[in-house]
Amino acid sequence: MPTPNQKFEFQELRRFLHTSEPAELGPTARSGTLPHEPIEEAIRAVVGETILAERTGELIRGTLLLWHDHLDAAHAIAQSIENADGSLLHAIMHRREPDYWNSKYWFQHAGKHICYSAIAARAGALLEHDREKRFTALVLNGNWDPFAFVDACEELERGGRGGTQKDILRKIQKIEFEAFLDHVLQQALEP
């Protein structure tokens, strides 16, 4: 069971998502990300070896490694976790790879994940400012549609477009990472 200090320290893990720019939608590494080993060391310092050995610790590692463009390491972790959380991490990794069909396969295994309501709320608020209403299918009737997000990423890649569409999708992807990490950290805090 986490101590009160660990509860605070767990929330400090969220700072690893504060990079100079959001993760790319694809596999391209960007500047400002951390190398693999410093991420591992920092996570160990915050959560300790005991929690790292547990499924929650693995999910924390996988999420932060994926955010920092270490797709292969995140993939190995996601493959080892056979539940909705592992499937969701696996789906996000394949979407970034990009292997869109495989991503949808893993989103299907994740089912209606508990963090989708947080993604829908935050992404919906962001999309209210999208004057062109290009991404209304992502949040319909207050529900997050991860399959529509995969389609939007694939369409952007195939069309070779960028600019504001890409920026919006990258911001939504960051929301997805934040909501998932918050979910995982909440699990670690539960008795």
* pLDDT tens digits, 138-173: 999 999 999 999 999 999 988 866 678 899 999 999
Whole-angstrom distance, CA of residue 185 vs CA of residue 59: 9
Could you tell me the end-to-end alpha-carbon distance of the chain, in angstroms, rounded to an integer?
6
Neighbours of 163 (CB within 10 A): 8
Domain that holds residue 28: 4-189
Ramachandran angles phi, psi of 90, nearest 5°: -60, -45
pLDDT value of residue 52: 56
Ramachandran angles phi, psi of 10, nearest 5°: -60, -40
Under-50 pLDDT residues of the chain = 1-2, 4
Nearest to 24 by CA among 182, 171, 180, 148: 171
Q: Does this model's pTM top 0.85?
A: yes
Domain count, the chain: 1
